[in-house]
Amino acid sequence: MGALAEKMGIEFTEFSIERSVATMPVEGNTQPVGLVHGGAYVVLGESLGSMAANLHAGPGKLAVGVDINATHTRSATSGTVTGVCTPIHLGRSITVHEIVVSDDQGRRCSTIRITNMIKDAPA
């Protein structure tokens, strides 16, 4: 999963090519005013999207992020947030995933889109 995701408390609860889900605690991932930091939403989204792209890429291949964008529409202040990652495009050389991050009440907080390039893994 990676040191950053572990440090942020991200936990994967579902993992497949069609759908990946992870949670992240609000506590420890906030701005000084107590709202989830926008960058924390992006780390959750990139963790989900990159891992899903690598699962799709398969053995001997490596998916690397080439573009990510996020629109934050709400900020959680307590509990956990949940990211649900679904593919938009799964090609031989490019994948695109959408990650919807919601709070404990099911309200959308952020929508993230990540594009990964698939290449040969280093020897």
Per the DSSP assignment, residues forming a β-bridge with 81 are 24
Catalytic residue among 6, 18, 27, 46: 46
DSSP letter for each residue of 66-119:
EEEEEEE-----SSEEEEEEEEEEE-SSEEEEEEEEE-TTS-EEEEEEEEEEEE
Closest by alpha carbon to 80, among 32, 8, 15, 20? Answer: 8
Matching residue, tokens 């930091």: 37
Catalytic annotation present for 14: no
> Which residues carry out catalysis?
46
